[in-house]
Copies of this chain bind each other. A is one copy, B any other.
């Protein structure tokens, strides 16, 4: 399984992903799910992947190959030179569609699932911070003020805290704490989501990454958040009004 969460607030974008993949409970591995692309001072983009790993790796290869080829031939459109973030999401969707077309029939014929989804978060100079969720069919939706975050993978355990906390005016600091708490709740309840984590933060109008950090299992800051949250829940619990008549 996977858990990736991305938040778009007025101040920028915050993304957090785990690194655990599994094919059955007895086949666990570690793969990075967040990938970053930037032209410093012009744009910074993060993509986060869930679903069939062979599909998402191939989509990522397509994107990288285009970037490499565009060094020779600047006419080639890539997520690093395209006009808008919306166009970048389209390019990810195009790559998804092409990869699905090649592999999906065979994968499904053999009884496996080819579904995958990819979040695309970033900002280019002249545009606003944008967050998109690209589906297996290459279609996509964009986060808005009403729904300022997306989750992929096992989203349920970590959703209640985001529902309560995240609004467009949430600060990057608070959004970062929220995604950490959301991930912590998911890891506690779902064995197939696990450390280490990848945290990516893009501050509005910086056109580079404020943070690209791997959070290891022994990370003291994350452990402190986890402990403080547990303590806060217990304290909040003690202070709840009585319900028994």
Contacts and interface: CB of A to CB of B under 8 A. Distances in A.
Interface of A: 154, 156-157, 159-161, 163-165, 172-174, 176-178, 180-181, 185, 188-189, 201, 210-211, 213, 221-222, 224-225, 228-230, 232-237, 239-245
Contacts of A156: 154, 156-157, 189
B235 A236 contact: yes
A223 to B, nearest CB: 10
Contacts of A243: 173, 176-177, 180, 221-222, 225
Copies in the complex: 2
A177 B163 CA distance: 20
Contacts of A188: 160, 163-164
- Report which residue of A156, A165, A242 has the largest number of chain B beta carbons within 10 angstroms of its beta carbon: A156
B241 A224 contact: yes
A244 B176 contact: yes
Given A224-B241, A240-B225, A241-B225, A160 B177 contact: no
Contacts of A163: 188-189
A157 B237 CA distance: 17
A189 B159 CA distance: 7
Contacts of A181: 237, 240
Given A164-B188, A188-B160, A211-B245, A240 B232 contact: yes
B240 A177 contact: yes
A222 B241 CA distance: 9
Given A173-B244, A244-B172, A236 B237 contact: no
Contact of A160 (B180, B185, B237, B241): B185
A156 to B, nearest CB: 3
A173 B232 contact: no
A161 B184 CA distance: 12
A230 B233 CA distance: 11
Given A177-B240, A240-B177, A244-B211, A164 B233 contact: yes
Given A164-B230, A210-B244, 5 more contacts: A154-B156, A160-B189, A163-B188, A164-B233, A177-B243
Nearest to A210: B244
